[in-house]
Structure 1
């Protein structure tokens, strides 16, 4: 049997520092969750860090279906559903197009492909505010303004540069001999992509899916600018709820609403976080 590594003072100090950092970053989450399970009387009369004496999901129920977000008091449910309708196709389409672009730009290079890739990289570093006005005009011309489909198109276009960068750098590390051998065997462009390249893409695929899901779900700017009354995403609904004035401010409802808005991304990282780290590590040594 292998001997267990001894905990030296330096290692104990490192573990202690990491634990302190973890507690520091998790403290806001703890406060939000704890406050969302308390009544307003308990919030007023106890410490912010105190555990709830009688945990209750009433604030969660109110935030989901009865909280006021402006003049409407239907809670966050419609906003949550709008975000689901937006994020699932947007993530799928932008990831698929990024994988295809990365495959072409790394393994089927053509004259001007490097220039095209360099131009696409401008989209990674371009401030989002720059595209608001031209994007509004394009959505108006297409008849997609103030709709969920318009938001899907915006996020697909905004995500293609990043997804292309991820896949292109990853595919650059795949042996060119695989492609050449498959071509000599008579495999077509699409057959090579489906049967050889995609099965090898699991690490970067997970990274891209999580990256796109997080960016699109948490986006506020595009949501508030391009959405209509019936297509606002969860981030806009949360902002409206928090800024809706009432005679008594219900902090427990606000905290529950924030937890509801952040729950999908928390679940994604909790369930697939280790695969995200592995994918980043795998991509770091490619090309």
Structure 2
């Protein structure tokens, strides 16, 4: 009976995994086919003559509207946007969480409660006021403007992550360091941050994924030369041509998704560990 239960469980898990991964399989095999096989063969057929030609075209020469430079410029815009946005929002979240959990002051709980509104507030609510702020700062339609938007949008979430994690750290560590003469920044740098690896990994992965995959802010706040890869992918897929090249579209979608896939493949287990550690400590 025990073996039968294990067989049922594993069969169910494998079935669900196959259903979940089927779209990914279709995208990969379609991106490796030529258009002749796509028109003649079935959706799940393996490529007869696998080729990376569609990948090359999607990267460097596919048309996105009137421009035919592929996803390369959009991909680079996303890189220049996501690296500073993730770093700054994570650092600010760590400092905020440290202050709100270990250096509480009058009104700190109210401030934390108000910051939580940013976690649950619909993104559409801030579009108009944010566009006005970017105009006042001279950052409209620029990568720098997108960085600022994502930092501001990410601070509530990163603060929540770090604050809930730091609440579980013993107050005695902070008090002992203060008795030894350590100040605010030294305690943060020498004691708190070395103990923050699990939640730091969670926050970095969370922010990277959210910012890289964002479409709404990218399409609203970017200009002709600062559009992120999600907007470029949308433009590529919606660009009309004589022949719809599904292999190029699939290759472009995989290129756009590749960074987040790599992050989860390489650091997925640390993400799960960090979530578990935060749950236990928070």
Shorter-normalised TM-score: what interval?
A: over 0.9
Indicate yes or no: 2:245 matched with 1:250.
yes
1:8 alignment partner in structure 2: 3
Q: How far 1:150 sits from its partner (Å)?
A: 0.1
Indicate yes or no: 2:127 matched with 1:136.
no
2:23 alignment partner in structure 1: 28
2:217 alignment partner in structure 1: 222
State how far apart, in whole Å, the 1-side matches of 2:181 and 2:2 are.
Answer: 58
Q: Which runs of 5+ in 1 are unaligned?
A: 1-5
Q: 1:195-252: CA deviations, max 9, x gaps?
A: 0000000000000000000000000000000000000000000000000000000000
1:50 alignment partner in structure 2: 45
Please give the secondary structure, in 1, of the residue aligned with 2:70.
Answer: coil
Indicate yes or no: 2:60 matched with 1:62.
no
Indicate yes or no: 2:68 matched with 1:73.
yes
Q: 1:174-205: CA deviations, max 9, x gaps?
A: 00000000001111110100000000000000
Indicate yes or no: 2:273 matched with 1:278.
yes
Please give the secondary structure, in 1, of the residue aligned with 2:281.
Answer: coil
Report how many aligned residue pairs link the two structures.
282
1:169 alignment partner in structure 2: 164
1:3 alignment partner in structure 2: none
Q: How far 1:21 sits from its partner (Å)?
A: 1.0
Q: Which runs of 5+ in 2 are unaligned?
A: none
1:160 alignment partner in structure 2: 155
Please give the secondary structure, in 2, of the residue aligned with 1:203.
Answer: helix
State how far apart, in whole Å, the 1-side matches of 2:59 and 2:155 are.
Answer: 33
Superposed structure 1 runs of 4+ greater than 4 Å apart: none
Indicate yes or no: 2:245 matched with 1:231.
no
State how far apart, in whole Å, the 1-side matches of 2:6 and 2:108 are.
Answer: 49
Indicate yes or no: 2:110 matched with 1:103.
no
Aligned Cα root-mean-square deviation (Å): 0.8
Q: 1:125-160: CA deviations, max 9, x gaps?
A: 000000000000000000000000000000000000
2:140 alignment partner in structure 1: 145
State how far apart, in whole Å, the 1-side matches of 2:208 and 2:53 are.
Answer: 29
Indicate yes or no: 2:171 matched with 1:200.
no
Please give the secondary structure, in 1, of the residue aligned with 2:73.
Answer: helix
State how far apart, in whole Å, the 2-side matches of 1:95 and 1:7 are.
Answer: 46
Q: 1:63-99: CA deviations, max 9, x gaps?
A: 0000000000000000000000000000000000000
State how far apart, in whole Å, the 2-side matches of 1:7 and 1:138 are.
Answer: 63
TM-score, reference length from structure 2:
0.99
TM-score, reference length from structure 1:
0.97
Please give the secondary structure, in 2, of the residue aligned with 1:85.
Answer: helix
Q: How far 1:8 sits from its partner (Å)?
A: 2.2
State how far apart, in whole Å, the 2-side matches of 1:237 and 1:7 are.
Answer: 52
Q: 1:109-138: CA deviations, max 9, x gaps?
A: 000000000000000000000000000000
State how far apart, in whole Å, the 2-side matches of 1:86 and 1:214 are.
Answer: 12
Q: How far 1:7 sits from its partner (Å)?
A: 5.7
Q: How far 1:58 sits from its partner (Å)?
A: 0.1
Q: 2:177 aligns with which of 182, 187, 191?
A: 182
